[in-house]
Structure 1
Amino acid sequence: MLISLFSCEDEGYLSSPDAQLKFSSDTVMFDTIFTTIGSTTQHLRIYNPYEENILISRIRVAGGDFSNFRLNVNGTPANEVYEVEVPARDSIFIFVEVTIDPNGQNLPMVVQDSIEFTTNANRQSIKLVAYGQDFKLVKNENIGTTTWTAEKPYLVYGNAYVDSVSTLTIEPGTKIYFHKEAGLYIKGTIEAEGTFQNPILFTSDRLEEAYKNIPDQWNGIILYSGSHNNVFNFATIKNAYIGLQVGTIEHEGFATLELNNSRIENMTYAGLFAMKSKISGYNNVIANCGFYAAALLVGGEYEFYHTTIANYWGGYSSRARQTASLILSNNLIIKDSDGSEVTHTGNLEKALFGNCIIYGNNRMEIELGKNDEKAFNYYFDHCIIQVPDTFNTSNKEHYRNVWKGSTYDPLFMDPYEKYNYALDTLSAAKDKGSLEYAKFFPNDILNRDRLADNGPDLGAFERVEKKDEK
C-alpha cells in the first residue's frame, strides 16, 4: 500500500487552472502550395515551463476531420487526441501537414484553422495558415502545337514532350513548376517570350521558403539536336539538375537557341549544357552550379554578349567544386556501359564572349579542351576572367582587352547568400565594356540604360549610381 501511495504521488500533474503552455510559435504557416498536392511537414513545439508534469486533456484541430490540416501529436497521427503528458521542464512536438482543395479560381487562396489545447479547463490555441494556388496539371503528356498562358501556373508531373513538328509557345508571366524528377523535352520548338514586366519562370513545385534556392529538385529542360528556332527571353530557370541542355549527342544535326535577358541558376550539375549547337545570347546570368555554369562541348557556334557567368557554389554539399565555371571543348569522351570510351568531336566554329564576366570562387574558372583534328575558335573581347596571373592571354586571336585575376574582382553585391550578381560601386567591371557591343544591347537585364554614363559595364548588370541630391 505504501509503494502504491508513493507511486500515485510521483505521477501527479499540475492542477492549477492558471497553467499556461508555451509554444515555439503562435502560428504554423505554410507558404504557397499547389491545390490537391500535400505540403511539406511543419512542426510546432509545446513546452511545459513548470516543475511539475502537465496533462493536456485534449489537443484538437478546430475543424475536426473536415479540416485541410492533419496532425501528428508526439507520434500519434490524429486530429484529436486526449491525455497528452508533457514532463516537467520538457516539451513535445506536433507535426502539421496540409492539402488544399481546388477552388476553380486563378488567384492564390488562403486556408485557415487552429489547434486547440485544453489544460485544466484552460484553453489555448495556435493559428494554422496555408496559402494555396490552383494549377493546370501536365502529367507525362505529348504536347502538340499549343500555347501556355499566364492564367494559371502549370505543374509538370513526370515529363512533358514537344514532338518534332510542334511548337510550344509560352506567354509572358507564365509560371511552370516541376515535380521531383520531372522535365520538359523539346524535339520541335519552344518560344518562351517573356517581358521585363512579366518574365517566365521554370522552377520546382516546392514553394516553401526553405526550398527557394535548393538545386536538384527537378530534371531540367532539354532541346534535342534537330530542334530549331528556340527562344528564351526574360525567363528564369532554377533549382534543377541541368537547367538547360541544348543538343543531344545521340541525335543527328544540331539545336539552335536565342537566349536573352534570362537567368539560369542553382543547378546540381550545369546551368547551360550545350553540345554541337548554335546559341546566341545577351544579358544572361548563368550562376551557382555544382560542376559547370556553362559547358559548350563537341564544337558548335556560340555568341554571348553582356553575360555574367558566376559560380560561387557551396553550402549544399560537402564536396568542393573542382571544375571551371566555363568549359569550351571540341570533343567529349563518354564511357559506355562496358567501361569502354567513345570520343565525340566537332568543329568549334565560334565561341565569342563580348563584354562578359566569367568569375567565381575557384582560381581557374575557364577550361579549354582542344582536339587538334577539329577547329577550335574562341575569342574573349572586353572580358573579366578568373584565371591565374600566369595564364597566357597574349594571343590576339583569342584575347583582346581581357582583365584577369583577383585584382579585377567584379565585386558582385552578394553572390553567396542572396545570389545578387549586380556590381558594387567599386567593381572593376564598371565602364570597361566595348561601346561597339553595347550599342547593339543598350539596356541591361534590369532594363537600365548602358549608354547613359562614362561607358558600358561588363556583364548583365549596369551599375547606376545615385545622383548627388545636392
Structure 2
Amino acid sequence: MRHYIVLFIFGLLLISTSCRTDFDTVASSGDLKFSKDTVYLDTVFKNIGSSTYQLKVFNRSKNDISIPSIQLKKGLNSKYRMTVDGMNGDNGKIFKDVTLLAKDSLYIFIETTADITDANPTDFLYTDEIQFDSGLNLQEVALVTLIQDAVFLYPKQNPDGSKEKIQIEGKSVDGFYLDENDAVNGNELLFTNQKPYVIYGYAGVPENKTITFEAGARVHFHANSGLLVDNKASLQVNGTISTTDKLENEIIFEGDRLEPEYADIPGQWGSILLATSSSNHSINHLTLKNATIGLSIQGQDGTTFQLKNTQIYNCSQYGILAKNALLNSENLVINYCGLASLSCIYGGNYVFTHATINNNWQSSTQVAVHLSNSLVGAKPENNALTQATFNNCIIYGSNWNEFNLDKNPNAAFIYQLNNCLLKFGGSGTNPDYQFATDPVHYNQIILNQDPKFYKVSQNKFNIDKNSSAFAKGNPAFAIPTDILGKTRTSPPDLGAYQSADFPK
C-alpha cells in the first residue's frame, strides 16, 4: 500500500511541474518573424469577397510568449477581416493576449470585401496593416488589394424574396432580360470597354434584339451564370487585332474569380446559349475560358454563324456544342474540354478552315472532334449532316483517338477532311476511317505526327518550322492572315497559327 502512495505522490509532482511551464509566458519583445512582410490579396471586384490568404507568424525564441494585441491598424473600420489560430477576436479585427509557444508558429487567415470608394482614387489600392503589439515592440505586416470597378448585372429580387427567373430549354433558372433603357446602366445590350461587366444568373437577350460587344470588352460570369441569346435575337462580338500582350482589343469571357489560382479551372460558369431560332451571329477575336460549355448552339433560323479568330479553353464539358447548326469558322482554337472540344450533333452544316482543335483533358474518353447526325430523344432522332468540312486543320490531343464519327444510316452524313493533321490510333478495317484510301472523305491527311505546339499546358498552340504542320496546307483553302493577324505564306501552315520562331 505504501508503494502505491509513493507512486501517487510522484505522479502529482510530475503533472504539476509539466503544467506549470506550459502556462508561464513572457511578454512579446518585438522579435516575431513572418512568412512575408506584405500580403497581396489579388484583384477583386468591388463588394465581392476575396479568397482567403495566409500569413504565418513564428516565435523563434526559447520562451512561450504572450502577444498583447494583434489587430488591424484601421481597427473595427477596416475592410479586412482575420482569424488568428481559429479565433475570431472582436469582429475579426482585434485580438488580445495571444499566446505563442516557444519554437512554434500561428496562422493568420485574411479576407476582404471592399468597395471602389474605399480604395485610393489614384491607384485603386485598398491597404491596411496587421499590427503586432505596440510602442517600441510594434511590428507590422502590410495588406494590399486592388479593387476593380465594374458594371454588375443580376436578377431582381421579387417581393417574396425569390429571384427573377427566365426559361432556358424548358427549365426555369435565375436570370433576367437585358434592357436597352435601364434606369441605372443605360443600354445593357451594348458592352463597352470602359469597365468590366460581372453577370449573376443568366442574362437574356430579348427577341428581335441584338447584343453587341465592342473591342476590348471584358465580361466575367459568376458561378451558374451565362448568356442566353433568345429566339430571333442576335449576338455580335466585335473584337479586333491587339498589338500588345494586354490583348487590349480582344474580347474576353471568363469567370469572376480574378486570383491566379482560378486562371485555368474549368466549369466556373455556365455557357453562351444561342437559342434554336436565334439569328445572324458573328464572333471575331473572342477568348472564352473556364465555362461548362463554351458555346452552346441550338440551331439557327437559316443564317450562317460566322466564327473567326476565336479561342476557347478549359471547359468542363464542351468547347463548342452545336446542334443542327449552320456554322462557318476561320482561325479557331479549342483545347482542354472534359467531353469534346468540338461536338457537332443532330446534323447541321459546318465548315472549319485553319482550325487548331486539340484536347489535352486527361481521360480515356475525351476527343477533340465528335460528329453525329442523331440525338436520343429528339423527334425525329436522326437529322441530316449536310456538310462537315475541315480544311488545313489540326485535330490532335492526349487521347489515342481524337476524331469520332457517330453515323446513323437513316440520315445523311457528309464530311470531308482536306490537308489536315489528325491523331487517330487505329482504324483497322472500319470503312469510316480509311484515311489513305478514301478520297471522298480524306485528302492529304497527316496521321499521328506531333505538331510540336509551343506550350500546350498554357494553351499556346503556336508552331515553328519543326512542326509536322509546317507548310502542309493547301493554298486553295488559305485564310490570308492567321489568328494573330500574321500574313500566311504559300503553302500555308496547318492550324490557326502561321509558324514563327518560339520565344527564347
Superposed pair shares fold, TM > 0.5: yes
For residue 376 of structure 2, the aligned residue among 326, 329, 333 is 333
Structure 2 CA distance for partners of 1:466 and 1:57, relative to 1, 3 Å: closer
Instruction: Select between 40-49 and 211-220 the one with higher mean Cα deviation.
Output: 40-49
Within 5 A, what are the aligned runs for 1:406-425?
408-416=449-457, 418-425=458-465
Structure 1 contact 107–133 (Cα < 8 Å) conserved: no
Structure 2 CA distance for partners of 1:144 and 1:15, relative to 1, 3 Å: closer
Q: Which amino acid aligns with 1:112?
A: T
Within 5 A, what are the aligned runs for 1:124-135?
124-135=139-150
- Give the match for residue 113 of structure 1: 128
- Give the match for residue 40 of structure 1: 51
- Give the match for residue 189 of structure 1: 234
Structure 1 contact 16–120 (Cα < 8 Å) conserved: no
- Give the match for residue 139 of structure 1: 154
TM-aligned CA deviation for residue 89 of structure 1: 2.1
Counterpart secondary structure, 1:332:
coil
Counterpart secondary structure, 1:373:
coil
For residue 455 of structure 1, the aligned residue among 471, 488, 491 is 491
Q: 1:345 and 2:382 equivalent?
A: yes
Instruction: Select between 186-195 and 19-28 the one with higher mean Cα deviation.
Output: 19-28
Counterpart secondary structure, 1:422:
coil
Instruction: Select between 193-202 and 95-104 the one with higher mean Cα deviation.
Output: 95-104
Q: Which amino acid aligns with 2:356?
A: T
Instruction: Select between 201-210 and 52-61 the one with higher mean Cα deviation.
Output: 52-61
TM-aligned CA deviation for residue 8 of structure 1: 4.0
What TM-score, normalized to structure 2? 0.83
CA separation in 1, counterparts of 2:252 and 2:106?
40
TM-aligned CA deviation for residue 215 of structure 1: 0.7
Within 5 A, what are the aligned runs for 1:294-309?
294-309=342-357
Structure 1 contact 59–116 (Cα < 8 Å) conserved: yes
Which structure is higher in strand share?
A: 1
CA separation in 1, counterparts of 2:98 and 2:364?
49
- Give the match for residue 265 of structure 1: 313
Within 5 A, what are the aligned runs for 1:302-451?
302-314=350-362, 320-334=363-377, 344-388=381-425, 390=427, 391-393=433-435, 394-405=437-448, 408-416=449-457, 418-438=458-478, 441-451=479-489
Structure 2 contact 368–396 (Cα < 8 Å) conserved: yes
- Give the match for residue 102 of structure 1: 116
- Give the match for residue 102 of structure 2: 88
Q: How far does the alpha carbon of each residue in 1:268-314 deviate from its partner, in whole angstroms, 9 at most, with x for none?
A: 00000000000111111111101100000000000111110011114
Counterpart secondary structure, 2:76:
helix
TM-aligned CA deviation for residue 72 of structure 1: 1.3
Structure 1 contact 13–52 (Cα < 8 Å) conserved: yes
TM-aligned CA deviation for residue 425 of structure 1: 3.9
Structure 1 contact 255–277 (Cα < 8 Å) conserved: no
CA separation in 2, counterparts of 1:343 and 1:27?
63
Structure 2 CA distance for partners of 1:147 and 1:101, relative to 1, 3 Å: same
Structure 2 CA distance for partners of 1:90 and 1:321, relative to 1, 3 Å: farther
Structure 2 CA distance for partners of 1:158 and 1:369, relative to 1, 3 Å: same
For residue 28 of structure 1, the aligned residue among 21, 39, 46 is 39
TM-aligned CA deviation for residue 466 of structure 1: 8.4
Instruction: Select between 151-160 and 421-430 the one with higher mean Cα deviation.
Output: 421-430
TM-aligned CA deviation for residue 28 of structure 1: 1.2
- Give the match for residue 297 of structure 2: 246
Q: How far does the alpha carbon of each residue in 1:109-165 deviate from its partner, in whole angstroms, 9 at most, with x for none?
A: 111111111289522111101011111111133124531111111110111000221
Q: Which amino acid aligns with 1:99?
A: T
Q: Which amino acid aligns with 1:218?
A: W
**Identical positions, percent:** 34
TM-aligned CA deviation for residue 194 of structure 1: 0.5
Counterpart secondary structure, 1:262:
strand
Structure 1 contact 189–228 (Cα < 8 Å) conserved: yes
Structure 2 CA distance for partners of 1:369 and 1:10, relative to 1, 3 Å: closer
CA separation in 2, counterparts of 1:398 and 1:107?
61
- Return 5+ residue gaps in structure 2 as ranges: 1-11, 156-175, 181-188, 243-248, 428-432
Structure 1 contact 309–326 (Cα < 8 Å) conserved: yes
Structure 2 CA distance for partners of 1:267 and 1:172, relative to 1, 3 Å: same
Structure 1 contact 15–120 (Cα < 8 Å) conserved: no
Instruction: Select between 145-154 and 303-312 the one with higher mean Cα deviation.
Output: 145-154
- The Cα RMSD (Å) is 2.4
TM-aligned CA deviation for residue 397 of structure 1: 1.0
Q: 1:290 and 2:290 equivalent?
A: no
Structure 2 CA distance for partners of 1:279 and 1:29, relative to 1, 3 Å: same
- Give the match for residue 337 of structure 1: none
TM-aligned CA deviation for residue 253 of structure 1: 5.3
TM-aligned CA deviation for residue 51 of structure 1: 2.8
Structure 2 CA distance for partners of 1:403 and 1:112, relative to 1, 3 Å: same
Q: How many aligned positions are there? A: 445
Structure 1 contact 107–134 (Cα < 8 Å) conserved: no
TM-aligned CA deviation for residue 267 of structure 1: 0.3
Structure 1 contact 298–330 (Cα < 8 Å) conserved: yes
CA separation in 1, counterparts of 2:218 and 2:416?
36
